[in-house]
Structure 1
Amino acid sequence: MSNLLKNTNAFADHCGLPARHIFDDLFTLLYSHICAGKKEYQHLYPAVSYDARKVQPLDGYRDADRDELMRLLVMLIAELDNAVPFEDVVTDKYGTLLQGDSGQFMTPTPLSNAVSEFLGSAREGGNKRAEPSCGTGALVMGDLRHTYAVGGKDAVSHVDYSINDLDQRLVRIATVQVMYHSIRHEAPLKRLVVHNADLIRNYDTSPPFFAATSWRGVLEII
């Protein structure tokens, strides 16, 4: 078990909260940072939109516990920073915290990587892709990792991805995973559109949860 998970579980016991709740809140903080910091990566994504109502403040923590929450956030950021481009260092950790919640099951990282290599990179298999039940983004990250490994930043810049999940907590994590790696490694997708919708009842009518269009997408529209 990673130090991040050990510390998250210990902090959850201290706070009297489920460990998954703590992990979700770490990604709520990262998602808010991405939304608030649009100007910092505008050279990569000139067009970014999101539902401001979904950028949520954290509550339920005592003032004395917020320092520990920030320490966990720093540990999470360090793991993301130390990963290779689009390496999923989140899904397997998150999967250990689910404990059968709502029957959810995250795709193991080795399986997502194997599927991506079997399907081929985005350049080889087509540049428009979709993942209608993305979870924490395991298959999306595996696809982008393989695409980056095969064709580098140029291959990633042609990818137009639409992702969705009914669980807002999961779709937020998937969005952070893709955007964090994309920004850190300066490897923007052509477009990322994220939905938090019911595939059966309102997939076509629900406004995007988050959307980012890169310089390549903007240029091709003109």
Structure 2
Amino acid sequence: MVNNSIEEIINIIRAEYIASAVKKEQFPEENLLEIAFIGRSNVGKSSLINSLTRVRNLARISGNPGKTQTINFFKLRAKFYEDSSIKDFYLVDLPGYGYAKTGQANRKKWAKFIEEYFLSSKNLYCVCQLVDSRHKPMDSDIEMFKWLIKNNIPVFVIATKIDKVSKNIVSKNIAAIRKAFGITELSVLAYSSVKNEGRSYLLDFIGDALVK
């Protein structure tokens, strides 16, 4: 499990919705670093994005899993504490996978344009894959992780909803994630959108990405 006790090196000072896309021609043209977020439907992706940016309802939270049906681009502005420099980047919100009530035709359509984005984006720095810490990873989680690794796309795994269960269960299921993903030393960030636990580390991770 990643250590959350670190000092933030950036502050998110602006976050705004830019565009929704289902094909490459609709992606924003501005040449900015992209950090994408993906996970099973109802994994808490929208809540995490709102927690990270501290903008209420930037990513809409719905009681109906599978609501995100497009690739949504948000432009975030980061200010570095050390020298007050400013850098912009895109946070990319991707549709959830593995939702049983989503029709097969829709699942295939989403998979096609998500794959196109992953393989065509020249600015994609990494994919933050969210996995529900309350459960062992599901087959769709494992398939997504292995597909990303197979295609040489960097992955940062985040275990969500850690405030919903005991620390022992979180630790047990993070160990299960490492085993299922086949990497015993895999770094997994434990995150609570309710308590903002893990937010400082995620900001530090993004800050490091912006200066590379």
Q: TM-score, normalised by structure 2?
A: 0.30
Which structure has more helix as a fraction of its residues? 1
Q: TM-score, normalised by structure 1?
A: 0.29
Which structure has more strand as a fraction of its residues? 2
Name the larger-Rg structure.
1
